[in-house]
Structure 1
Amino acid sequence: MLKTKCLAASAIAALLSSTVVVLANDVVIVGGRVIDPETGLDAIRNVAIEGDKIVAISEFPLEGDVVIDATGHVVSPGFIDLHAHGQNIGDYRMQVTQGVTTSLELESGVLPIADWYDAQATKNLPVNYGAAAGWTFGRIATFTETDPLATAAYFQDAQSHNHWKMEIASPEQSERILALVEQGLKEGALGIGINAGYAPGYGQKEYFALAELAHDYHVPTFTHVRYASNTEPQSSFEAIKELIANAAITGAHMHLCHINSTSLSDIRTTLALVEEAQAKGINITTEAYPYGAANTVVGAAMFSGPDWRERMDSTANNFQLGADRMTEEQLADYQANNPGTFITWHFLDENNPENLALLDLSVTHPSTVIASDAVFWSYFDGNGQVQNYEGDEWPLPDNVFSHPRSAGTFSKVLRSYVRERGLLSLSEAIQKMSLMPAQTLEDSVPQMRNKGRVQVGMDADIVVFDPATIADLATFANANQPTVGVQTVLVNGGFSVRDGELVLDAPYGRPIRNAVTK
C-alpha cells in the first residue's frame, strides 16, 4: 500500500512539472537568473507578481497578464540607496534608471519631517522615499532664530553663517535643537541625520544627547563625522572613534556615512577600527560609494583654517565646478560670496593604482553597504550663478551637471567591480545594494523587512538588468548620462522602467517612515 501511494505521488509530481499550476497574475517575469542574497537563491526561475507583492517563484511555467522575458538577464531585488540628497523628480529618475527602487535622505535629513513627507506625497514619484530628522536643520533654526524649512535652499543659504557650525550651544539652544529633532522622530523620521562635518564645533555633550535620543526611539543615527583629516589631532580616526564611543555607551545603532571620503587615505586604519567595534558587539554599520571624489558645498567648515590643505592633501585644483577644476582665485571668491555652491572634491585619484586600491578596499569590505551620496543637479543661470535644477524635463536639460555618482553608483559597481575586475561576485554586489541596506533599517522600520529580497510575500521592488551590458556612462566631465543595460524596474509592482525606457510620471513610489515610538 505504501508503494502504491509513492507511485501515485510521483505521477502527480510529473503531471505538475509539465503544466501551468498558478493562475494568471498581474505580471510574470520569465526565464531570468533570479538572485536573492538572503536565501542564497541563484538560479533560472519565473517570478509572479500580484498587486504590490511577489506571489510565486517557480521553476515551472507561470501565467500573467503582462509577461516580461528576462532571458539572459538578472532578476534582482531593487537597489536601496540610504544616502541620496537629490530628492526632486529628476534626481529620482536618474536613480531609478540604474535600478534604485528606494531613495532615502538620511545623512543630512530635513526638518520639519511632516512638511517634507506631505510635499513629496503630492508628486508622482517613481521610487520609494524617506528622510531622517536633520540635526543641522535644527541647529541652523536655533542659531538663526528661525523656523526650519524642509528645502535644500535652507541648508545652502545658511552656509554664510558660522555660528551654527562652530559654536557650542547654550543649554536653552540645546533644548530647542533636541526638541526639533525629537518632533521629527515623532512624525516618522527614519532616524537622526547628523551632518557633523558641516558643523564640527558642536559639543561632545550634544552628540551624546543625540545618540541617547536615537536609542530611546530605537532608531539609528546617520553621521557624517566631524573631521576629515589624514593627520592628528582632529583626524578622521578621532572622529570615527567618537562615533563608536557614543554607540558603545548608549547602545544606539550608529551608521557611519561614506567611510571612503571621510577617511581620505587613512581608510585601512578606520576600517580596522570599525571591524574591532563590530567584533565587540557595538552596533555600527557603514557605507561607501565607488568614486574617488566627493561633492559638497564650497563653504563647508572642513575647507577652512590655515592648514586644511595639508590636513586634507588638497588644493583648489582638487575642486571641480561644472566641467572645470577651480583656481585659488575662484575658490576664494566662491567661499566668500557663494559658499552654498556645490562642488566636486577629488580626494583620491582613481588613475593612481595606490589610490584606487584604497577606494576598492572601502567598496569591497564585507561590512560596507553601497550608498551613492547622490547630489542635486545644478546649472549656471543667466548671471553665472549656480542654481539647483527642480524641473521635470526628461531627459534632463543638456546644461545641468552633477557628480557622476548621482547617475551611476550602482551600475558602476556592477560594471567595474563585478564584470570588468571581478572584485565582487554578482551576488555579493547585489547583497550590498539591496539586502544590507534593508537590514540596516529594518529593526526600526518594519516596511524594510519586505524589501531587498526576491521572495514570496516580499514587496515587488525588482530590477531586471543585463549583466553583460549594464554600465554607468556618467563621467566627471559629463555626469548627465543615464545608465544603460537596465531592462525593467518595478516599484511596488508598477513599472518605473519598461523595455529599457523610463516611464514618465510613474506614481508607484511610497513613503518609508519609522513605526517606533518612545
Structure 2
Amino acid sequence: MRRRLKWGAATACGAIALALVPGPASAGNSYDLVIAGGRVIDPASGRDEIADIGINGGSIAAISASRLEGKRRIDVKGLVVAPGFIDLHAHGQDPVAERFQLLDGVTTAIDMEIGTAPVAALYRRMEGKALINFGASASHICARLEVMSDKRCGPDVEGRLTADPAMLVKGATPEQEAQITAILDREVASGALGYGIGLEYVPGAGRREIFRVFEAAAKTKAPVFVHVRSRPPDQGSGVPIAVAQEVLADAAATGASLQIVHVASTGLRDTPAILELIKGARAHGVDVTTEAYPYTAGSTAIGSNFFADGWQERNGATYGDVQWPATGERLTKESFDRFRKEQPDAAVVIHIIPQEVVDRAITDPIVSIASDGMPWITAGEHPRGAGTFSRVLGQYVRERQLLDLPAALAKMTIMPARRLEAVSPQMARKGRLQAGADADITVFDPATIRDRATFDQPMQASTGIAYVLVGGQVMARAGKVTAHRFPGQAIRSDLPH
C-alpha cells in the first residue's frame, strides 16, 4: 500500500545531498542510475510514495519502494521527484531561453501558439544542440506570409510579426485560403505538431479562412492552438467571450481538437465566463483545452496588432500600463509612439491582468500551465520565461495553498503530454514517472522552490530545483547547467498522410 504524504512532509532538515554517490550493484539487477529515496509523485497514475527510481539509458526501468542498486546513485531524501515539466507555449527556442527553462524544471518546451515554417529547418538548427526537448506547430502566420507576400519565415518566426504589415491586415481569397491550408498540411506532414494560429496578430484573417484551417486540422487529426482575436473581424470592438466563441464553434463544427492559449491574458475579466464556455463545450463532446501563466502582465511586440487603434478601450489599459523592459520605464504616449515606430519588433510588458483572474485560471482543474516565454533578445524580457513553473509551486502550492501539490504537478506534466500524445508517440512517454517512460525528471525541494525572475530583473533563475534529468542525463544540479551536453530531442508529429 502506498504511503501518501502531505505537502512538506518530505522536506529534509539540513543540506541537500547534491553529489552523485556510487551505489552497490547486485548482479543482474543494477541500473545505470538510481534516484533514491525521494517522494515520487506521478500524477498520471496517482503514485505518491517514497521510492527509488532505476534508470537505464534514457528510460525509467523500475520504480520501487524497496532499495534499488545502481552504478550511480543520487540521494534525494526529503525532495520531490516529479516528471519533467512540459511547456507547450514557449517561444524561446534558443540557448538562453532553454537554460532558464531547464533551471525552472522544464524538460520539454514547444512553441504551439505561433509555431514556425519550415519546421524541418527548426529541427535541423537545434538537433544536437538542445539542452531540452523542443518542437513547434505549423505557423498560420508563416503560411500566410508565403502565400500573400514575397517574404518567407526563417527557422524561427519570432520578430517577423511586423515583417509585412500589409499581409497581416489583408483579406484572403478562397484560392489563397486553400494555399494557406495546403502549406500548413505540408508542415504537419513534415513533423509540425499542430496548427498554430496567432489570430490577435492577423486582423485580416476572416472567419472563413480560420474555419478552413480547422477543417484541415480535423482531417489530419492534429490540434489547433489559437491566440484568439482581441476583436471580431467584422466589428470595431469586441469582448473576449465573442472571440472565444468563434474558435469553439469552428472546433464543434469540424471535430478538430483545440487549445485556447493563455486564457487569463486573453479573457481578462471575462475569463470565468470563457472557462464556463470551454467546460460546456467539453461536456458536449468538443475536444478543447486551455492554459495560463501565473503573472498579472502579458507581453507582445510593440508594433503588433495588439496595439492597433482602440487598444486602450479593448483592454481597459493606459500607456502607463505598458513597460519598456530594457529600462523598466512605464511608457507615455510620446515614448510609446516613438518605440512603436522605431522598434516595432521589440517586446513590451503590459500590466493588465487582474490578480483574481490569474488565480481563477491557475487553480481551475481544466487549465494547464504554460509560460508563453519570449526569446531572450535583451536583458529585459518577461519573467515568465524563467520562473513560471517554480512560481506556481512556490506561491500557489506552498505559500497561498490554493493548489495541492499533485494537482499542480498534473498541470505541468500529464495534462500537456496528453494534449499532444495522439499526434506524437514521443509524448506518450513523457509527463509520467512509470517504467518505460522517458527519464525526463525534475527533483525539487518543496520547502524552498520559488521563482526569482521579476519584471525589473527577469533574467534570474529559479531556486529550489535540485536536479533536472533529460533523457536520463543530469542536465541541471543545484542551479548549474551541465556543460557540453545536449540531450534535447525534436518532438515530431507522426500522423498518417
CA distance in 1, matches of 2:30, 2:268: 53
Q: 1:314 aligns with which of 300, 317, 323?
A: 317
Residues 270 and 157 of structure 1: CA distance in aligned 2, closer, same or farther (over 3 Å): closer
The answer to whether the 8 A contact 1:21-1:61 is kept is no
Query: SS at the partner of 2:397?
Result: helix
CA distance in 2, matches of 1:21, 1:357: 57
State which drifts further: 232-241 or 258-267: 232-241
Give, as a single letter, the amino acid of the residue that structure 2 aligns with 1:413.
V
Aligned pairs for 1:36-435 within 5 A? 36-121=42-127, 123-152=128-157, 155-158=160-163, 161-227=164-230, 233-305=237-309, 307-322=310-325, 323-348=328-353, 355-379=354-378, 400-435=379-414
The answer to whether the 8 A contact 1:193-1:222 is kept is yes
Residues 421-453 of structure 1: per-residue CA shift (max 9 Å, x gap)? 000000001000000000111111111111100
Q: Shift of the alpha carbon at 1:468?
A: 0.4
Residues 54 and 22 of structure 1: CA distance in aligned 2, closer, same or farther (over 3 Å): farther
CA distance in 2, matches of 1:63, 1:112: 46
Residues 58 and 153 of structure 1: CA distance in aligned 2, closer, same or farther (over 3 Å): closer
Task: Give the equivalent residue in structure 2 for 1:502.
Answer: 481
The answer to whether the 8 A contact 1:200-1:227 is kept is no
Q: Shift of the alpha carbon at 1:140?
A: 2.0
The answer to whether the 8 A contact 1:287-1:368 is kept is yes
Q: Shift of the alpha carbon at 1:29?
A: 0.6
The answer to whether the 8 A contact 2:80-2:446 is kept is yes
Task: Give the equivalent residue in structure 1 for 2:455.
Answer: 476
Residues 296 and 249 of structure 1: CA distance in aligned 2, closer, same or farther (over 3 Å): same
Query: SS at the partner of 1:38?
Result: coil
CA distance in 1, matches of 2:426, 2:179: 30
Residues 156 and 201 of structure 1: CA distance in aligned 2, closer, same or farther (over 3 Å): closer
The answer to whether the 8 A contact 1:110-1:150 is kept is yes
The TM-score with structure 2 as length reference comes to 0.91
Residues 326-369 of structure 1: per-residue CA shift (max 9 Å, x gap)? 11111111222321111111112xxxxxx322210011111101
Q: Shift of the alpha carbon at 1:156?
A: 4.3
Residues 290 and 68 of structure 1: CA distance in aligned 2, closer, same or farther (over 3 Å): same
Task: Give the equivalent residue in structure 1 for 2:4.
Answer: none
For structure 1, list consecutive stretches of 5 or more residues without a partner in the other structure.
1-18, 349-354, 380-399
Residues 282-338 of structure 1: per-residue CA shift (max 9 Å, x gap)? 110100000011110111212112x32112111111111122211111111122232
Is structure 2 residue 34 aligned with structure 1 residue 31?
no
The answer to whether the 8 A contact 2:439-2:469 is kept is yes
Is structure 2 residue 479 aligned with structure 1 residue 511?
no
Query: SS at the partner of 2:487?
Result: coil
Ranges of 4+ aligned residues in structure 1 off by more than 6 Å: 19-22
The answer to whether the 8 A contact 2:104-2:390 is kept is yes
The answer to whether the 8 A contact 1:228-1:263 is kept is no
Q: Shift of the alpha carbon at 1:157?
A: 4.7
Give, as a single letter, the amino acid of the residue that structure 2 aligns with 1:296.
T
CA distance in 2, matches of 1:328, 1:178: 39
Give, as a single letter, the amino acid of the residue that structure 2 aligns with 1:433.
M
State which drifts further: 462-471 or 493-502: 493-502
Task: Give the equivalent residue in structure 2 for 1:439.
Answer: 418
State which drifts further: 133-142 or 403-412: 133-142
Residues 234-263 of structure 1: per-residue CA shift (max 9 Å, x gap)? 221111001100010100001100001010
State which drifts further: 196-205 or 145-154: 145-154
State which drifts further: 262-271 or 491-500: 491-500
Give, as a single letter, the amino acid of the residue that structure 2 aligns with 1:410.
F
RMSD across aligned positions (CA): 1.7
Give, as a single letter, the amino acid of the residue that structure 2 aligns with 1:505.
H
CA distance in 1, matches of 2:27, 2:392: 38
Q: Shift of the alpha carbon at 1:22?
A: 6.7
CA distance in 1, matches of 2:304, 2:123: 27
The answer to whether the 8 A contact 1:188-1:514 is kept is yes
CA distance in 2, matches of 1:197, 1:75: 38
CA distance in 2, matches of 1:20, 1:430: 34
Q: Shift of the alpha carbon at 1:155?
A: 1.3
CA distance in 1, matches of 2:394, 2:438: 26
Identity of aligned residues (%): 40
CA distance in 1, matches of 2:238, 2:166: 19
Give, as a single letter, the amino acid of the residue that structure 2 aligns with 1:242.
E
CA distance in 2, matches of 1:148, 1:268: 36
The TM-score with structure 1 as length reference comes to 0.88
Give, as a single letter, the amino acid of the residue that structure 2 aligns with 1:220.
P
Q: How many residues align?
A: 469
CA distance in 1, matches of 2:479, 2:308: 45
State which drifts further: 430-439 or 261-270: 261-270
CA distance in 2, matches of 1:312, 1:22: 63
Q: Shift of the alpha carbon at 1:232?
A: 8.9
CA distance in 2, matches of 1:163, 1:500: 45
CA distance in 2, matches of 1:228, 1:504: 46
Choose 1 or 2 for highest CA Rg: 1
For structure 2, list consecutive stretches of 5 or more residues without a partner in the other structure.
1-24
Residues 204 and 333 of structure 1: CA distance in aligned 2, closer, same or farther (over 3 Å): same
The answer to whether the 8 A contact 2:177-2:212 is kept is no
Residues 75-105 of structure 1: per-residue CA shift (max 9 Å, x gap)? 0000000000000011001001111000001
Residues 170-220 of structure 1: per-residue CA shift (max 9 Å, x gap)? 233223322221211110100000011100221111101100111111110
Is structure 2 residue 455 aligned with structure 1 residue 449?
no
